[in-house]
Structures are given as structure tokens and as C-alpha cells.
Amino acid sequence: MNNIKMRPTRVGFGIGLAEIAEQKKEIVCLGADLTSSVSLDLFKSKYPERFFSIGIAEQNIAAIAAGFALNGMLPVFATYATFATTRCLDQIRISICYNNLPVIIGGAHAGISVGADGATHQSLEDIATMRVLPNMTILSPCDATQAEIAIKTAVLNCKSPVYIRVGRESVPDFTSIDQHFTIGKGQVLKQGIDVTIIATGHLVYESLMAAQILENKNISAQVVNIHTIKPIDQELIIDCAKSTNFVVSVEEHQIIGGLGSAVSEVLSKHYPCRMEFIGMDDQFGESGTPDELLKKYNLDRTAIAERIIKTIK
């Protein structure tokens, strides 16, 4: 993985949306006075007649998006994840999900790696909030390239609400534009026999690096990228658990209600085995650089590896 470029996943989301909008003329885009921050500026510059700035009024945006969808359009709106999933939750639940409308929601600046913006802007509950809503699909791409593919795939295939979780800071962009990406299917990025690391979002790359650390300790780690939280790939999770009998979930989100909860729901029903949860442990974040915060809250590659080593011992 030498010479890997660094790009924010939100940029991949914006590029993918602008490109697919040329093919899908029914796409309209709604902004919340954060156009460039959530990478909607490319869409706005290419299709100004299809872009609507609603201002800092997320509840209105969700309701307007529902109205567009009821009239045959394909609305996409994006703002910071902490606003997109909580401030307008009632409108998403009733206007969008209850009517099962094809609305795509971009949640940017997700996770603790937002950094200096602090706890108010670090969305650590969005997966749990969206996961409980009927009809909602949740995508959590691991890098900018996968984010680009995810938004295009959502536009072309989903006939119901979709939430796409992306981040602010530049992260390793390590996957291929030619990758096989299917909503609802995870990706095995590395084979292993001692432990299965199931990760999502930015921490997929950290998990791959943790696996390298573990290799130096004679621990063989399998690494799985779950880019679709809902519907989750039950078959892959069960098969991986059977192969190692030890599963570790890794996420930049609260442990409660997130990826780990989704994985444990599958395993408790189909294949109970030893499991560890790595994520935010029922706490808010704080201001700091992304690297400082990942290290402090034990979410970086070293902490992931140490946690696995300790559990195995």
C-alpha cells in the first residue's frame, strides 16, 4: 500500500454525485448553507438550475426533499451528519421513511476525526439513529473512491431512502475504482485465521494497518470492510466468525447501536462466538487533531492491535 493518495471521503461523495447527475436528469440537490464543506459545490457549478440552497433549516430540507420525491424527482441533500440525522429526524422518519421515498441523505463530518470542531460536530450516533428507521439503507464507505462508487450505486439502484456517511479529513484512498461494490455485501480485504476484524468507514484502513502489526506478533487477522451497515451482510459475517471464532468490530461511532451492535445481532442469533467492540464507549469526543483523538480514544491502529493481543492472551 505504498504511494497511497489522501482524500476526504466527502470529496468522493461530491464527485460521484456530480458525475451521475449527468446521466440522471431527475436528480435535484438541496444544500444547508454548507455547500463546499460537504462537497456539493461541484454539483452546484455544473447544474445550478437543479441546486437549491435552503439555508440552515435541516427540517425544511428533509420535508422539501420528500416533496420532490413524491413528484418523481430524485432528491439528494447533504449537511453535517450530526445535523442530518438528529435535527430533522422527525421529518426523515415520517415524510421520507414512512412513505418509503427515494431520498439520498449525505452525512458529512461523521466520526471523531472531524477534529477541532469538537463534540457538537462529531457525529457518533448517526448509524444507530438511521439504523432503527424502517426502509432506510445505510452506506459507510471506507475511502473517497468507495464514496464515489457508493453514491452512484445508490442513485442507480435504490428505490427507498439511503443514508451515506462520509468524513471531513483526508484519509488514505486505497481502494480501486474497478472494485466490486454491491449494496448489502461486505468485502474481505485480508485473509486470516486467528481473528476477524470487521470495520467500517475510516477505520477500515486503520484495521488493515493493525493487521500488519498483528502479523509481526504471529497473529493472523482477517479484515472485512462492511460498507453497508443496513442491510448488513449476514452470510459473510457468519462465515468469517466460523473461520476464526473471534470477531472484533471497529468503528468511529458509539459502540451502542452501531456496527458492533449490528454484527452482534447477527452472531447472537446464528453463530455465537467471542466478540470485542472497539469504538466510542458511551462518551462524547472533544477538540483536537484527528490523530490525537483517534489515539486518545484508542481507535488508531496501535490501540486496535493491542486490544486484540490482550484479548487473545
AA letter at 223: V
Residue 306's pLDDT band (cuts 50, 70, 90): very high
Residue 21's pLDDT band (cuts 50, 70, 90): very high
Residue 161 has pLDDT above 90, yes or no: yes
Per-residue pLDDT at 59: 95
Residue 1's pLDDT band (cuts 50, 70, 90): low
Per-residue pLDDT at 116: 86
Given phi > 0 = left and psi -120 to 50 = alpha, else beta, which region is 86? alpha
Grid cell locating 280: 466510542
> What mean pLDDT is predicted for residues 182-210?
98
> What mean pLDDT is predicted for residues 103-110?
96
Per-residue pLDDT at 3: 78
Crossing angle for the helix pair 301-312 and 203-215, to the nearest 10 degrees: 50
Per-residue pLDDT at 92: 98
Tens digit of each residue's pLDDT (9 = 90 or more) over 215-248: 999 999 999 999 999 999 999 999 999 999 999 9
Per-residue pLDDT at 2: 59
Q: What's the CA angle centered on 268, arms 262 and 237, to 5 degrees?
A: 55
Name residues whose C-beta falls within 8 Å of residue 268's C-beta, 6 or more positions apart in sequence: none
Grid cell locating 186: 461486505
> What mean pLDDT is predicted for residues 98-104?
98
CB atoms within 10 A of CB 19: 16
| Integer Cα distance of 227 and 201 in angstroms | 7
CB atoms within 10 A of CB 237: 25
Residue 208's pLDDT band (cuts 50, 70, 90): very high
Largest Cα–Cα separation, the chain: 60
Per-residue pLDDT at 75: 98
Grid cell locating 216: 509481526
> What mean pLDDT is predicted for residues 85-111?
97
Q: Whose CA is closest to 224, among 246, 253, 238, 204? A: 204
Name residues whose C-beta falls within 8 Å of residue 115's C-beta, 6 or more positions apart in sequence: 168, 169, 287, 288, 289, 290, 293
Give Cα separations from 224 to 76, 169, 191, 214, 236 (angstroms). 29, 22, 9, 15, 9
Domains of the chain: 5-173 (3.40.50.970), 187-312 (3.40.50.920)
Q: What is the DSSP letter of 181?
A: -
Whether the Cβ atoms of residue 31 and residue 52 lie closer than 8 Å to each other: yes
| Integer Cα distance of 236 and 78 in angstroms | 31
Grid cell locating 273: 462466538
Residue 144's pLDDT band (cuts 50, 70, 90): very high
Residue 115's pLDDT band (cuts 50, 70, 90): confident
Grid cell locating 130: 438511521
Residue 29 has pLDDT above 90, yes or no: yes
- What's the whole-model pTM score? 0.96
